[in-house]
Amino acid sequence: MGRAIPNRDYDFIIVGAGSAGCVLANRLTEDADVRVLLLEAGGKDRSLFIHMPSALSYPMNDPKLSWQFHTEPQAHMDGRRLHWPRGRVLGGSSSINGMCHVFGHPYDYDRWADETGFADWDHAHCRPYFRKAEHRDKGGDAYRGGAGPTGAVTGLGRNPLYHAWVEAGRQAGYPVTEDQNGFQQEGFGDMQRTIERGRRSSTAVAYLRPVLGRPNLTVVIRAVTTRVLIENGRAVGVCVSIKGGREQTVRATREVIVSSGPLNTPKLLMLSGIGDPAQLKAHGLPVHTDLPGVGANLQDHLEVYIQHACTQPITLYGAQAPAAKARIGLEWLLFKTGLGATSHFEAGGFIRSAPGYSHPNIQYHFLPIAINYDGSNPSDRHGYQAHMGPMRPTSRGTVTLRSADPRDDPVIDPNCLSTERDVREFRDGVKLTRDVFAQSAFDPFRGEELRPGPSVKTDAEIDAFVRAYAESAYHPSCTCKMGAGDDPMAVVDGAGRVYRLDGLRVIDSSIMPSIPSGNLNLPTIMLTEKLADRLRGRDPLHATPVPVYEPADWQTRQR
């Protein structure tokens, strides 16, 4: 790994060593005669805060490890700007995320097939690639993988509040599920985390590090790709800013693959003259390829925290003291065990907020502490909370250029809460969460409600609370969507190839046609594993249809 780019021929250039890029680098270099260059704008993943699961808030808020993006003021959220950090380090956002190991619902991928017309993107064709990607601590089965690169551990659930959460869900009338990534997503139960032997299992750790010694792989860090080189309707290489601001050109004999994520990928395409002509001309950029869908269709998950004080001193509040942090850190350093070896998202749930949903549209992450995602603690006492958010929002936003200068952040406008359905689902979700917390399982622990607070009662007050406090769950996606050739907003085909331009693919979460029902790291890894086979000309893994839970009375009952 070095900062200067060796002057040699490459078959493939991959831009971005994140959740997708590291997977591609591994799989493409399995073919010894294929030469791959992997470019990463950030540095090495050396920080202990990356690898220590409980320290996740540090890399997320460190500008040396993550792009510190913010949205435009959100008109439907009291004009607030939302913090949208994205990984700027080997492993990308898989090195800074909350390590929630979630596949999404099988119907998400059936929807992808319906939306795009590409039958091989349905659930039966995606499931084998989820299985290929993971190494679950409980082993593999028809639904799960037992021998893949990505670690998956089930929550230990030692804190009694985790048990109270699942039991309260059962008391409220919801099912309990043994595996949210298996037959039945719906219900309350243990969450799985992308952790292996007490360490974060990022794609840098799981996919890239084991193959750094391959002679056909070159990895260059601190290399900011400023544009894709296009000659005669074909992508032939990239222009890269390296140490000292010097620009270097490097060429690909076969393809350039952009895996820079849902914000930087459309930015790079537009800087390269690929996108909406009006947008490009406004910044004095040439129009190489007219694709108005570049940067459109932006989707994200929002969430709010429902927080209670805890009447017993059993929460993680006590672990916030400096001496306690030192003990936790020392145990993790020596043994990779203890509170440092978990992201603490060990229990959660998926529910339907109303009749008429065939599969869950609300996701929960439960934590035995009242705390913000950035690590700040708004309360001065023991507490617990549920992160609650709708999973298939109907609001759509955009990523556009601020200027033609590659150093400028893109303009990010997710247009959050712009539809009545999104507002209603949050409103219903707050009420349903309060109902769960009111169950007898929490009687030994329940103190006052800290957030929204007892003064928030009416629908209007709940809506105002959501506008004031909802935050991103850090799942931006869909900004270079996959779609059929006659879809004017489609950017890539079913193999990730950019329309009307040879030699260029996009492979990352930006090509999702719609956002999956859950966290996005595993779906991104899955789609990359699948497209790596396409790139290599390999036969796809055999489709594996498996039964999927669906409530018989979903049309008439909420639970």
Q: Measured between alpha carbons, how far is residue 443 from residues 167, 349, 384, 446 in Å? A: 12, 20, 13, 5
Please give the sequence-ordered ranges of beta strands (E in DSSP) within 36-76, or none if there are none: 36-39, 66-70
d(CA 541, CA 106): 17
β-pairing, 150-154 with 134-136?
parallel
Let me know if 475 is a catalytic residue.
yes
CA 443 to chain centre: 35
Exposure of 547 by Cβ count < 10 A (0-12 exposed, 13-18 middle, 19+ buried)? exposed
Coil vs helix vs strand at 521: helix
Residues facing 274 on adjacent strands:
289
| Start-end of H helices in 104-159 | 106-116, 123-133
Widest pairwise Cα distance in the chain: 71
Q: For helices 106-116 and 123-133, what crossing angle results, to 10°?
A: 130
473 touches 301 (CB < 8 A): yes
Which residue has tokens 């440092």?
Answer: 340
List residues bridging with 151 in a β-sheet: 135
Secondary structure of 421-440 in the HEC alphabet? HHHHHHHHHHHHHHHHHCCH
Following CA atoms 99, 103, 105, 106 in sequence, which dihedral angle do they give, to the nearest 10 degrees? 180
Peptide bond into 452 cis (omega under 30): yes
Tokens of 412: 């990010």
Q: CA 87, CA 520: separation in Å to the nearest integer?
A: 14
Under a CB-based contact definition with an 8 Å cutoff, are residues 409 and 86 in contact? no
| Residue among 234, 250, 186, 200 nearest 552 (CA) | 186
Q: How does strand 217-220 pair with strand 199-200?
A: unpaired
CA–centroid distance for 549 within its chain: 24
Q: Which of 163, 301, 475, 542 is catalytic?
A: 475
CA torsion, ordered 130, 541, 143, 361, to nearest 10 deg: 50
H helices of 443-513, where? 459-469
CA–CA separation, 285 and 421 (whole Å): 38
C-alpha 436/C-alpha 426 separation (Å) is: 15
Tokens of 131: 């299985």
Q: Are the C-beta atoms of 554 and 358 separated by less than 8 Å?
A: yes
Dihedral sign from CA coordinates of 126, 128, 130, 132: negative
CA-to-CA distance for 364 and 351, rounded, in angstroms? Answer: 8
What positions carry a catalytic annotation?
Answer: 475
